Protein backbone atom coordinates (compact mmCIF):
# COMPACT_ATOMS: atom_id res chain seq x y z
CA UNK A 1 0.00 0.00 0.00
CA UNK A 2 2.72 2.40 1.03
CA UNK A 3 6.29 2.05 -0.02
CA UNK A 4 9.13 4.30 1.08
CA UNK A 5 12.47 3.78 -0.62
CA UNK A 6 15.75 5.46 0.12
CA UNK A 7 14.06 8.56 1.44
CA UNK A 8 16.51 11.38 2.16
CA UNK A 9 15.66 14.85 3.35
CA UNK A 10 17.88 17.77 4.27
CA UNK A 11 17.16 21.30 5.37
CA UNK A 12 19.43 24.00 4.06
CA UNK A 13 20.56 26.78 6.31
CA UNK A 14 22.88 29.58 5.23
CA UNK A 15 25.98 27.85 6.47
CA UNK A 16 25.28 24.16 6.26
CA UNK A 17 23.03 21.39 5.19
CA UNK A 18 21.23 19.62 7.99
CA UNK A 19 20.31 16.09 7.11
CA UNK A 20 17.15 14.96 8.92
CA UNK A 21 16.27 11.75 7.08
CA UNK A 22 18.79 9.23 5.92
CA UNK A 23 17.96 6.31 3.63
CA UNK A 24 14.55 5.50 5.08
CA UNK A 25 13.09 2.24 3.74
CA UNK A 26 9.88 0.49 4.68
CA UNK A 27 6.77 -1.06 3.17
CA UNK A 28 3.27 -1.05 4.62
CA UNK A 29 0.77 -3.65 3.43
CA UNK A 30 -2.90 -2.78 2.82
CA UNK A 31 -4.84 -2.86 6.09
CA UNK A 32 -1.67 -2.89 8.18
CA UNK A 33 -0.92 -0.61 11.12
CA UNK A 34 2.68 0.48 11.00
CA UNK A 35 4.25 2.38 13.88
CA UNK A 36 7.21 4.73 13.92
CA UNK A 37 8.79 5.31 17.33
CA UNK A 38 11.77 7.30 18.40
CA UNK A 39 12.83 10.16 20.59
CA UNK A 40 12.38 13.81 19.76
CA UNK A 41 14.36 14.87 16.73
CA UNK A 42 14.62 11.34 15.35
CA UNK A 43 12.67 12.34 12.23
CA UNK A 44 9.58 10.22 12.78
CA UNK A 45 7.06 13.02 12.17
CA UNK A 46 9.11 14.23 9.21
CA UNK A 47 8.60 10.87 7.48
CA UNK A 48 4.83 11.30 7.87
CA UNK A 49 4.95 14.82 6.50
CA UNK A 50 6.88 13.62 3.45
CA UNK A 51 4.24 10.94 2.76
CA UNK A 52 1.45 13.48 3.23
CA UNK A 53 3.12 15.76 0.70
CA UNK A 54 3.83 18.52 3.22
CA UNK A 55 7.54 18.44 2.34
CA UNK A 56 8.40 18.31 -1.33
CA UNK A 57 12.18 18.52 -1.57
CA UNK A 58 13.05 14.99 -0.48
CA UNK A 59 14.86 12.53 -2.69
CA UNK A 60 14.17 8.84 -3.06
CA UNK A 61 10.82 7.23 -3.68
CA UNK A 62 7.46 7.29 -1.91
CA UNK A 63 4.44 5.64 -3.41
CA UNK A 64 0.96 5.16 -2.06
CA UNK A 65 -1.34 2.65 -3.68
CA UNK A 66 1.06 2.34 -6.60
CA UNK A 67 1.16 6.07 -7.28
CA UNK A 68 4.23 8.13 -6.66
CA UNK A 69 4.07 10.97 -4.16
CA UNK A 70 6.23 13.30 -6.20
CA UNK A 71 5.70 16.23 -8.48
CA UNK A 72 2.30 17.85 -8.59
CA UNK A 73 -0.19 16.07 -6.38
CA UNK A 74 -3.78 15.68 -7.44
CA UNK A 75 -6.85 16.20 -5.31
CA UNK A 76 -7.52 12.49 -5.61
CA UNK A 77 -4.18 11.81 -3.96
CA UNK A 78 -4.93 14.07 -1.02
CA UNK A 79 -8.32 12.49 -0.65
CA UNK A 80 -6.67 9.09 -0.30
CA UNK A 81 -4.28 10.17 2.46
CA UNK A 82 -5.48 12.05 5.50
CA UNK A 83 -3.62 13.10 8.62
CA UNK A 84 -4.49 13.45 12.32
CA UNK A 85 -2.26 15.69 14.42
CA UNK A 86 -1.20 15.63 18.04
CA UNK A 87 -2.89 18.67 19.46
CA UNK A 88 -6.53 18.86 18.42
CA UNK A 89 -6.77 22.35 19.82
CA UNK A 90 -4.07 23.53 17.48
CA UNK A 91 -5.34 21.67 14.44
CA UNK A 92 -8.97 22.85 14.60
CA UNK A 93 -9.93 26.37 13.61
CA UNK A 94 -11.05 28.09 16.83
CA UNK A 95 -13.72 30.17 15.07
CA UNK A 96 -15.20 27.36 12.99
CA UNK A 97 -17.92 25.11 14.34
CA UNK A 98 -17.52 21.36 14.05
CA UNK A 99 -19.99 21.54 11.16
CA UNK A 100 -17.88 24.08 9.24
CA UNK A 101 -14.70 22.13 9.92
CA UNK A 102 -16.21 18.90 8.62
CA UNK A 103 -17.91 20.51 5.60
CA UNK A 104 -14.73 22.22 4.34
CA UNK A 105 -12.98 19.13 2.94
CA UNK A 106 -16.22 18.05 1.26
CA UNK A 107 -16.60 21.43 -0.45
CA UNK A 108 -12.95 21.42 -1.57
CA UNK A 109 -13.43 18.02 -3.19
CA UNK A 110 -16.88 18.95 -4.58
CA UNK A 111 -18.58 16.10 -2.79
CA UNK A 112 -22.32 16.43 -2.29
CA UNK A 113 -24.62 15.08 0.36
CA UNK A 114 -22.77 17.09 3.01
CA UNK A 115 -25.51 16.91 5.62
CA UNK A 116 -25.83 13.14 5.59
CA UNK A 117 -22.07 12.60 5.57
CA UNK A 118 -21.50 14.84 8.59
CA UNK A 119 -24.22 13.14 10.64
CA UNK A 120 -22.83 9.76 9.67
CA UNK A 121 -19.21 10.52 10.51
CA UNK A 122 -20.16 12.12 13.84
CA UNK A 123 -21.94 8.92 14.77
CA UNK A 124 -18.98 6.85 13.72
CA UNK A 125 -16.51 8.73 15.91
CA UNK A 126 -18.91 8.65 18.84
CA UNK A 127 -19.82 12.33 19.02
CA UNK A 128 -23.36 13.38 19.96
CA UNK A 129 -25.27 15.24 17.22
CA UNK A 130 -25.44 18.15 19.66
CA UNK A 131 -21.69 18.61 19.11
CA UNK A 132 -22.24 19.47 15.45
CA UNK A 133 -22.73 23.20 15.96
CA UNK A 134 -20.25 23.68 18.76
CA UNK A 135 -16.87 25.41 18.63
CA UNK A 136 -13.64 23.61 19.62
CA UNK A 137 -13.46 25.44 22.96
CA UNK A 138 -16.85 24.01 23.88
CA UNK A 139 -15.56 20.46 23.54
CA UNK A 140 -13.34 18.36 25.80
CA UNK A 141 -9.87 17.29 24.64
CA UNK A 142 -11.09 13.82 23.74
CA UNK A 143 -14.06 15.19 21.81
CA UNK A 144 -11.77 17.54 19.89
CA UNK A 145 -9.55 14.65 18.85
CA UNK A 146 -12.70 12.84 17.71
CA UNK A 147 -13.52 15.84 15.52
CA UNK A 148 -9.99 15.73 14.07
CA UNK A 149 -10.46 12.03 13.30
CA UNK A 150 -13.90 12.71 11.81
CA UNK A 151 -12.43 15.39 9.55
CA UNK A 152 -9.85 12.89 8.32
CA UNK A 153 -12.48 10.16 7.79
CA UNK A 154 -15.10 12.25 6.02
CA UNK A 155 -13.21 12.06 2.72
CA UNK A 156 -13.21 8.27 2.97
CA UNK A 157 -9.44 7.94 2.67
CA UNK A 158 -7.63 4.63 2.45
CA UNK A 159 -4.62 5.75 4.49
CA UNK A 160 -4.56 7.62 7.80
CA UNK A 161 -1.33 9.20 9.00
CA UNK A 162 -1.49 9.59 12.78
CA UNK A 163 1.03 11.95 14.34
CA UNK A 164 1.02 11.39 18.12
CA UNK A 165 -2.78 11.24 18.13
CA UNK A 166 -3.13 10.59 21.87
CA UNK A 167 -0.15 12.25 23.55
CA UNK A 168 -2.12 15.34 24.56
CA UNK A 169 -4.85 13.24 26.20
CA UNK A 170 -5.46 11.74 29.65
CA UNK A 171 -5.01 7.99 30.08
CA UNK A 172 -8.73 7.19 30.14
CA UNK A 173 -9.42 9.38 27.10
CA UNK A 174 -6.42 7.91 25.32
CA UNK A 175 -7.95 4.46 25.77
CA UNK A 176 -11.19 5.64 24.15
CA UNK A 177 -9.38 7.18 21.17
CA UNK A 178 -7.16 4.10 20.68
CA UNK A 179 -10.27 1.92 20.69
CA UNK A 180 -11.96 4.26 18.23
CA UNK A 181 -8.95 4.13 15.89
CA UNK A 182 -8.95 0.32 16.05
CA UNK A 183 -12.72 0.14 15.36
CA UNK A 184 -12.61 2.58 12.47
CA UNK A 185 -9.72 0.74 10.87
CA UNK A 186 -11.59 -2.54 11.02
CA UNK A 187 -14.83 -1.04 9.72
CA UNK A 188 -13.22 0.75 6.78
CA UNK A 189 -10.22 -1.49 6.19
CA UNK A 190 -7.84 1.44 6.52
CA UNK A 191 -4.05 1.46 6.50
CA UNK A 192 -2.41 3.44 9.31
CA UNK A 193 1.01 4.83 9.92
CA UNK A 194 1.23 6.01 13.50
CA UNK A 195 4.03 8.07 14.96
CA UNK A 196 4.50 8.14 18.71
CA UNK A 197 7.17 8.54 21.35
CA UNK A 198 5.18 6.20 23.59
CA UNK A 199 6.22 2.65 22.91
CA UNK A 200 3.25 1.22 24.82
CA UNK A 201 0.76 3.07 22.62
CA UNK A 202 2.49 1.96 19.43
CA UNK A 203 2.76 -1.62 20.66
CA UNK A 204 -0.94 -1.60 21.47
CA UNK A 205 -2.23 -0.47 18.09
CA UNK A 206 0.43 -1.51 15.57
CA UNK A 207 1.38 -4.74 13.84
CA UNK A 208 4.93 -3.71 13.02
CA UNK A 209 7.17 -0.96 14.34
CA UNK A 210 10.06 0.97 12.84
CA UNK A 211 12.45 2.30 15.47
CA UNK A 212 14.06 5.58 14.46
CA UNK A 213 17.13 7.35 15.74
CA UNK A 214 18.82 10.40 14.29
CA UNK A 215 17.06 10.26 10.95
CA UNK A 216 17.57 6.56 10.36
CA UNK A 217 15.41 3.51 10.86
CA UNK A 218 17.41 1.38 13.25
CA UNK A 219 15.23 -1.66 12.78
CA UNK A 220 11.76 -2.74 11.74
CA UNK A 221 10.25 -5.46 13.87
CA UNK A 222 6.98 -7.23 14.59
CA UNK A 223 5.31 -6.07 17.79
CA UNK A 224 5.30 -9.56 19.41
CA UNK A 225 9.07 -9.72 18.85
CA UNK A 226 9.42 -6.34 20.54
CA UNK A 227 7.25 -7.37 23.49
CA UNK A 228 9.19 -10.60 23.90
CA UNK A 229 12.32 -8.47 24.34
CA UNK A 230 13.92 -9.95 21.23
CA UNK A 231 14.87 -6.71 19.51
CA UNK A 232 18.07 -6.91 17.47
CA UNK A 233 19.59 -3.49 18.14
CA UNK A 234 20.75 -2.17 21.50
CA UNK A 235 18.89 1.07 20.96
CA UNK A 236 15.52 -0.67 20.66
CA UNK A 237 16.22 -2.70 23.76
CA UNK A 238 17.15 0.43 25.72
CA UNK A 239 14.01 2.21 24.50
CA UNK A 240 11.89 -0.79 25.48
CA UNK A 241 13.39 -1.14 28.95
CA UNK A 242 13.29 2.61 29.62
CA UNK A 243 9.60 2.67 28.68
CA UNK A 244 8.75 -0.18 31.00
CA UNK A 245 9.89 1.18 34.31
CA UNK A 246 12.34 3.30 36.26
CA UNK A 247 15.46 1.30 36.94
CA UNK A 248 18.38 2.87 38.80
CA UNK A 249 21.05 0.56 37.39
CA UNK A 250 19.87 1.09 33.85
CA UNK A 251 20.11 4.86 34.31
CA UNK A 252 23.79 4.51 35.25
CA UNK A 253 24.51 2.35 32.23
CA UNK A 254 22.77 4.93 30.03
CA UNK A 255 24.83 7.73 31.53
CA UNK A 256 27.94 5.61 30.98
CA UNK A 257 26.99 4.97 27.36
CA UNK A 258 26.41 8.68 26.79
CA UNK A 259 29.86 9.48 28.17
CA UNK A 260 31.66 7.12 25.84
CA UNK A 261 29.61 8.25 22.86
Partner 1 sequence: MSSTPKATDPSAPLFQVEDLWVRYRMRYTSFEAVRGVSFNLGREKLAIVGESGSGKSTVGRALLKLLAGNAEITASRLQFGEVDIAHADEKTMQTIRGARVSMILQDPKFSLNPVIPVGEQIAEAYRVHQKVSRQEAKARTLDMLAAVQIRSPERVFGQYAHQVSGGMGQRIMIAMMLISNPEVIIADEPTSALDVTVRLQVLAILDDLVRQRGMGLIFISHDLNLVRSFCDRVIIMYGGQIMETVAAADLDNVQHPYSRGLLNALPSLEHRRPRLPVMQRDPSWSRLQKEITP
Residues making contact with partner 1 (CB under 8 A): 39-40, 141, 170-172, 174-176, 178-179, 182, 197-201, 203-205, 223-224, 227, 238-240, 242-248, 250-252, 254-255, 258-259
Taking alpha carbons only, the member of 214, 219, 202, 210 closest to residue 165 is 202
Rank residues 30 and 256 by Cβ distance to partner 1 and give the closer one: 256
Could you tell me the sign of the dihedral formed by the alpha carbons of 216, 220, 226, 231, in that order? negative
Smallest separation (angstroms) from partner 1 to the CB of 133: 25
Smallest separation (angstroms) from partner 1 to the CB of 169: 9
Rank residues 115 and 230 by Cβ distance to partner 1 and give the closer one: 230
Rank residues 56 and 256 by Cβ distance to partner 1 and give the closer one: 256
Rank residues 114 and 221 by Cβ distance to partner 1 and give the closer one: 221
User: Which helix or strand (DSSP H or E) is residue 187 part of?
Assistant: helix 171-188
Smallest separation (angstroms) from partner 1 to the CB of 155: 26
Rank residues 99 and 243 by Cβ distance to partner 1 and give the closer one: 243
Smallest separation (angstroms) from partner 1 to the CB of 141: 8
Q: Is residue 155 within 8 Å of 124, Cβ to Cβ?
A: no
Smallest separation (angstroms) from partner 1 to the CB of 20: 17
Strands 67-68 and 81-84: unpaired
- Coil, helix or strand for 222? strand
Left (φ > 0), alpha (ψ -120 to 50) or beta: where does 132 sit? alpha
Half-sphere exposure of 32 (CA within 13 A, CB side): 16
Amino acid sequence: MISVQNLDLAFQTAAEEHKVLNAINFEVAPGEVFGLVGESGSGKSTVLRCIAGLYRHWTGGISVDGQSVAGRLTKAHHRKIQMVFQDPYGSLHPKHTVNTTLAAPLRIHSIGDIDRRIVEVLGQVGLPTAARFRYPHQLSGGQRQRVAIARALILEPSVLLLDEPTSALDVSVQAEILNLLADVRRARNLTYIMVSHDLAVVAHLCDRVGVMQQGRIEEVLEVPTLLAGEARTDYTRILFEASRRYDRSMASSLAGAAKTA
